[in-house]
């Protein structure tokens, strides 16, 4: 299994701390992608997103629902985060996805771009229900995840599957990044 990752992770203008954090973890024949956006920006947002990523890394083998519920408990008393997680499973040919708040995910397939839905809430403050949805995944498909520091108005098409993940992340961040907010975009492609 070959995993290609491209990412841009920049602070808001005038800040040194980045309030967004992400991780891409290899778990046997699965890849877990997570992105947390701490509320606001600066040190407190960075601390909250770091708590979320630490929890994900320590509990990566849990199913997505208890993983996000655990993040919610770990983040109590912090500024809180919005977050999405995606588990790419090559053997099953699926992506499991769960999102809370306005972190966006796109799955770019051969003939279609799917946009999983994230549900309202803030981990650390308000979490009603975590819904895990299943989408098809074929080797070479892209999973694109971004914080709200990158405008959701960019377009990716099935032709984007052929683009180098780092190049795609850089192009989208350059063209659609918001300088007054932390910008994070992660692009993952897996080949068998």
Q: For the segment 107-137, what is each residue's pLDDT rounded down to a tens digit?
A: 999 999 999 999 999 999 999 889 999 999 9
The reported pLDDT for the residue numbered 176 is 95
CB neighbours of residue 61 within 10 Å: 11
Crossing angle, helix 43-58 and helix 64-74, to 10 degrees?
Answer: 140
Coarse DSSP helix, strand, coil percentages of the chain, rounded to the nearest 5 percent: 25, 40, 40
The reported pLDDT for the residue numbered 69 is 98
Q: What's the burial of 111, exposed, middle or buried (CB within 10 Å: 0-12/13-18/19+)?
A: exposed
Report d(CA 46, CA 113) in Å as an integer. Answer: 31
CATH number at residue 90: 3.60.40.10
SS3 category, 55: helix
Q: For the segment 143-186, what is each residue's pLDDT rounded down to a tens digit?
A: 999 999 999 889 999 999 999 999 999 999 999 999 899 999 99
Q: For the segment 76-117, what is each residue's pLDDT rounded down to a tens digit?
A: 999 999 999 999 999 999 999 999 999 999 999 999 999 999
The reported pLDDT for the residue numbered 192 is 79
Residue 44 parent element (H or E): helix 43-58
Mean pLDDT across 10-35: 95
The reported pLDDT for the residue numbered 41 is 87
CB neighbours of residue 151 within 10 Å: 14
Q: How many CA atoms lie within 13 A of 63 on its CB side?
A: 7
Residue ranges making up the domain that contains 37: 2-191
Number of domains present in the structure of the chain: 1
Cβ partners under 8 Å of residue 58, min gap 6: none
Split at pLDDT 50, 70, 90, the class of 55 is very high
Q: What number of residues does the chain have?
A: 192
The reported pLDDT for the residue numbered 62 is 97
The reported pLDDT for the residue numbered 128 is 87
Split at pLDDT 50, 70, 90, the class of 29 is confident
The reported pLDDT for the residue numbered 146 is 98
């Amino acid at each position: 299994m070959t995993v290609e990752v491209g990412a841009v992770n920049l602070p808001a203008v005038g800040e040194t701390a980045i309030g967004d954090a992400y991780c891409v973890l290899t778990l046997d024949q699965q890849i877990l992608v997570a992105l947390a956006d701490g509320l606001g920006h600066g040190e407190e947002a960075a601390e909250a997103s770091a708590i979320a990523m630490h929890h994900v890394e320590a509990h990566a083998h849990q199913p997505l629902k208890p993983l996000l519920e655990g993040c919610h408990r770990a983040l109590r008393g912090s500024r809180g985060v919005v977050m999405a997680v995606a588990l790419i499973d090559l053997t099953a040919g699926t992506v499991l996805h769960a999102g809370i708040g306005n972190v966006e995910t796109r799955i770019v397939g051969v003939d279609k771009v799917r946009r999983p839905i994230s549900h309202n809430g803030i981990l650390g403050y308000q979490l009603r229900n975590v819904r895990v949805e299943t989408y098809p995944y074929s080797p070479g498909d892209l999973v694109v995840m971004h914080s709200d520091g990158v405008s959701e108005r960019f377009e990716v098409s099935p032709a984007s599957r052929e683009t180098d993940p780092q190049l795609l992340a850089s192009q989208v961040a350059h063209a659609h990044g918001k300088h007054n907010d932390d910008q994070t975009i992660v692009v993952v492609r897996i080949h068998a």
